[in-house]
């Protein structure tokens, strides 16, 4: 029998798999919740399955039980999402249940994220273990018509791939993989609007970011007419999507720059934890949470907001920075020194003012020597919303490592991606402050920069950006 999750020729949304009725064999994965500190929070969903649909979970549970059964494990945790936001199948002794039987996908491969929705996927989706960030410029002579056709093609391909299916003329790179939490997110850069004759509809939020004194930005690796973010929990699935979208670009657009990143893989930690970056810090703890009452207002453009472009309703602005970490210098610091740079403990991310990872920072607490426990130039202090008039953003980065640089040190760091309803009330004020007095500045270098308007999610029957390109 064809397995809709492993057979790219079968349609996982057509009900051709095992089971019947809504949310049965056609659903493909565990809809993971989000642990505190994860940049994620909105559950991963499956098309055609209503939120909270019990059937879906039951089927997933059966599928996973089959998987775990093959591994001989008795216990199972479903829907546990870590900082990396990954649903995990874990045996009673805490070890991952990895020996899937023939035809069975683990929750990693089976998890599917919905393409259609109020927001584009890849913003509140739990961090995936692989990512590609790619900017394209429209080809000379390509304008609004070609851009609209391209977004239509890209949306169709993204929808197909995110459902774990193969697009026409497929390369076969991910033939035997499930959707693997693939997300594809599309954005428009400032220059897109001039090239398409849409300058009057460019939001003021796309005005160039101010120059920051510590920037060492390479224009060739910055900005771009169009931006695509790909995330997946499998490297081949992510590359497959990258290839398909590049091929779709055809004569309409050319790659301007590409960056490849990664996060921790599912099952690598026994317990769900917030992600770590390449400096070894727990990173993502104090992200705004989707359960916060003001989350939507801070991260997404509201419909009908004064001065906003209506086509951006439900959208968000992404600031993208390739931040090189000067790891050789960083490693010279003692662990205590490293912890004072951030203001948090390295082992568990707890504030230096005490408590556990999720304890709020006490910025006024002093030690027996009368000195502030969270130093006055600590990164976590300077970037805290209360120090920046409430400015907040959702940080959703990937790490990168591109070998050894010309200077003989690792060309590694953070593909910093942050999301906000308005960069002037998110990234800009915080980076201004960090630029002036952050203890971390000595150990990082911003090497590229991009600002992109990421429209709201496409409703069924529409493509991403249609309300801009066809209105
Ligand atoms: C390679 C560069 C960076 C590294 C390694 C880094 C690392 C960290 C770490 C370890 C934390 C504490 C844990 C947490 O709350 O996530 C943190 C917090 C934070 N960082 Fe960064 N960060 C970097 C760049 C930036 C940049 C460029 C911005 C924005 C302009 C930023 C904004 C923030 C914010 C808003 C917080 C939360 C502060 C709070 O509310 O407590 N970070 N960062």
Q: In the predicted model, is pLDDT for residue 366 greater than 60?
A: yes
Q: In the predicted model, is pLDDT for residue 116 greater than 90?
A: yes
162, 223, 233, 393 from 238: Cα distances, Å: 10, 22, 8, 25
Give the nearest ligand 1 atom to 393 CA: 35
- What the block records as the tokens of 460 is 């069924």
Q: 183-189 and 130-138: which strand pairing?
A: unpaired
The torsion angle over the Cα atoms of residues 47, 49, 55 and 57, rounded to 10 degrees, is: 60
Q: Going by CA atoms, what residue is nearest to atom 20 of ligand 1?
A: 383
3-state secondary structure 217-250: CCHHHCCCCEEEEEEECCHHHHHHHHHHHHHHHC
Determine the average pLDDT of the residues in 169-194. Answer: 97
% residues pLDDT > 90 (the chain): 75
36, 40, 43, 222 from 297: Cα distances, Å: 20, 16, 19, 28
214 — pLDDT class (breaks 50, 70, 90): very high
Rounded distance between C-alpha atoms, residue 469 and residue 307, angstroms: 19
Q: What pLDDT, in 10s, does the model give residues 265-308?
A: 988 998 878 999 999 999 999 999 999 999 999 999 999 876 66
pLDDT score at 304: 83
pLDDT score at 308: 66
Q: Which residues of 203-229 are buried (b: 16+ CB within 10 A; e: fewer)?
A: bebbeebeebeebebeeebbbbbbbbb
Contact 351, 342 (CB under 8 A): no
99 — pLDDT class (breaks 50, 70, 90): very low
Rounded distance between C-alpha atoms, residue 445 and residue 436, angstroms: 14
User: Does residue 283 carry a catalytic annotation?
Assistant: yes
Question: How many Å lie between the centroid of ligand 1 and the Cα of residue 222?
Answer: 21
Question: How many Å lie between the centroid of ligand 1 and the Cα of residue 382?
Answer: 9
Determine the average pLDDT of the residues in 329-353. Answer: 98
> Which range (1-15, 168-182, 212-226, 387-401) has the least confidence?
1-15
Rounded distance between C-alpha atoms, residue 144 and residue 161, angstroms: 25
Question: How many Å lie between the centroid of ligand 1 and the Cα of residue 234?
Answer: 26
pLDDT score at 75: 23
Give the nearest ligand 1 atom to 349 CA: 13
Give the nearest ligand 1 atom to 418 CA: 29
Q: What is the DSSP letter of 106?
A: P
pLDDT score at 471: 81
Q: Going by CA atoms, what residue is nearest to atom 42 of ligand 1?
A: 383
- The DSSP bridge partners found for residue 351 are 344
Write down the residue that tokens 């912890």 correspond to: 339
* Catalytic annotation, pick one of 225, 283, 422, 438: 283
pLDDT score at 81: 29
pLDDT score at 447: 98
Query: For residue 27, how many other CB atoms are within 10 A of its CB?
Result: 30
Q: Going by CA atoms, what residue is nearest to atom 35 of ligand 1?
A: 383
Rounded distance between C-alpha atoms, residue 377 and residue 436, angstroms: 10
Q: What is the DSSP letter of 438?
A: -
- What the block records as the tokens of 206 is 């796309």
Question: How many Å lie between the centroid of ligand 1 and the Cα of residue 379?
Answer: 7
Q: Going by CA atoms, what residue is nearest to atom 10 of ligand 1?
A: 283
Q: Residue 81: which of 130, 119, 44 has the closest Cα?
A: 44
Residue predicted with more confidence, 426 or 76: 426
Rounded distance between C-alpha atoms, residue 442 and residue 345, angstroms: 19
Q: In the predicted model, is pLDDT for residue 11 greater than 50?
A: no
Q: Going by CA atoms, what residue is nearest to atom 27 of ligand 1?
A: 431
Is 0.85 topped by the overall pTM?
A: no
Question: How many Å lie between the centroid of ligand 1 and the Cα of residue 353?
Answer: 17
Give the nearest ligand 1 atom to 343 CA: 12
From 35, 283, 451, mutation site for ligand 1 pocket: most ligand atoms within 8 A of C-beta: 283
Give the nearest ligand 1 atom to 414 CA: 1
Q: Which residues of 234-252 are buried (b: 16+ CB within 10 A; e: fewer)?
A: bbebbbbbbebbbebbeeb
Q: What pLDDT, in 10s, does the model give residues 59-90?
A: 333 233 222 222 222 222 222 223 333 233 33
Q: In the predicted model, is pLDDT for residue 150 greater than 50?
A: yes
Contact 412, 324 (CB under 8 A): yes
Determine the average pLDDT of the residues in 37-55. Answer: 35
Residue predicted with more confidence, 416 or 65: 416
Question: How many Å lie between the centroid of ligand 1 and the Cα of residue 324?
Answer: 14
> Which range (5-14, 158-167, 257-266, 283-292) has the least confidence?
5-14
Rounded distance between C-alpha atoms, residue 452 and residue 426, angstroms: 14
Q: Going by CA atoms, what residue is nearest to atom 33 of ligand 1?
A: 383
pLDDT score at 52: 30
pLDDT score at 19: 28
- What the block records as the tokens of 320 is 């993208």
Determine the average pLDDT of the residues in 99-123. Answer: 85
Q: Residue 398: which of 237, 236, 233 has the closest Cα?
A: 233
Rounded distance between C-alpha atoms, residue 87 and residue 303, angstroms: 32
103 — pLDDT class (breaks 50, 70, 90): low
Q: Going by CA atoms, what residue is nearest to atom 40 of ligand 1?
A: 384
Q: In the predicted model, is pLDDT for residue 34 greater than 60?
A: no
pLDDT score at 107: 86
pLDDT score at 270: 86
Pocket of ligand 1 (CB under 6 A): 277, 279, 281, 283-286, 323, 325, 342, 344, 349, 361, 379-380, 383-385, 413-414, 416, 427, 430-431, 434, 440, 444
Q: Residue 352: which of 375, 377, 383, 386 has the closest Cα?
A: 375
Question: How many Å lie between the centroid of ligand 1 and the Cα of residue 380?
Answer: 6
Helix residue ranges, H only, 133-185: 144-162
pLDDT score at 162: 98
């Amino acid at each position: 029998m064809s397995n809709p999750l492993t057979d790219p020729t079968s349609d996982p949304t057509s009900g051709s798999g095992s089971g019947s009725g809504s949310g049965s064999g056609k659903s493909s994965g565990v809809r993971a919740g989000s642990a505190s500190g994860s940049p994620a929070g909105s559950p991963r969903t499956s098309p055609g399955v209503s939120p909270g649909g019990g059937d879906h979970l039951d089927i997933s549970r059966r599928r996973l039980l089959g998987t775990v059964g093959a591994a001989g494990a008795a216990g199972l945790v479903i829907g546990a999402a870590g900082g990396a936001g990954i649903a995990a199948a874990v045996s009673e002794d805490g070890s991952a249940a990895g020996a899937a039987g023939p035809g069975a996908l683990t929750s990693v491969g089976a998890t599917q994220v919905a393409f259609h929705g109020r927001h584009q996927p890849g913003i509140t989706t739990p961090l995936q273990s692989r990512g590609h960030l790619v900017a394209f410029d429209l080809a000379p002579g390509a304008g609004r018509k070609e851009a609209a056709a391209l977004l239509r093609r890209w949306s169709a391909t993204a929808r197909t791939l995110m459902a774990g299916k193969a697009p026409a003329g497929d390369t076969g790179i991910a033939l035997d993989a499930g959707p693997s939490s693939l997300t594809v997110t599309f954005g428009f850069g400032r220059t897109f609007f001039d090239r398409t004759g849409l300058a009057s509809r460019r939001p003021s939020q796309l005005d160039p970011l101010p120059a920051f004194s510590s920037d060492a930005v390479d224009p060739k690796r910055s900005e771009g007419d169009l931006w695509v973010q790909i995330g997946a929990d499998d490297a081949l699935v992510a590359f497959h999507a990258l290839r398909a979208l590049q091929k779709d670009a055809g004569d309409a657009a050319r790659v301007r720059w590409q960056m490849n990143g990664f996060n921790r893989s599912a099952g690598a930690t026994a317990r769900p934890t917030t992600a770590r970056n390449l400096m070894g810090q727990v990173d993502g703890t104090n992200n705004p949470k989707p359960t916060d009452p003001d989350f939507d207002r801070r991260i997404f453009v509201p419909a009908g907001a004064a001065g906003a472009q209506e086509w951006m309703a439900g959208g968000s602005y992404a600031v993208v920075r390739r931040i090189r970490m000067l790891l050789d210098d960083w490693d010279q610091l003692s662990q205590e020194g490293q912890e004072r740079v951030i203001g948090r403990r390295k082992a568990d991310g707890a504030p230096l003012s005490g408590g556990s990872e999720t304890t709020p920072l006490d910025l006024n607490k002093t030690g027996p020597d009368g000195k502030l426990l969270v130093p006055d130039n600590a990164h976590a202090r300077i970037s805290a919303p209360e120090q920046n008039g409430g400015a907040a953003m959702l940080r959703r980065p990937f790490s990168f490592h591109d070998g050894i640089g010309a200077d003989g040190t690792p060309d590694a760091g953070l593909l910093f991606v942050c999301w906000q309803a308005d960069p002037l009330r998110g990234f800009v004020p915080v980076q201004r402050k960090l630029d002036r007095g952050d203890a971390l500045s000595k150990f990082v270098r911003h090497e590229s920069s991009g600002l992109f308007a990421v429209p709201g999610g496409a409703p069924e029957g529409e493509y991403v950006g249609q309300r801009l390109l066809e209105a």
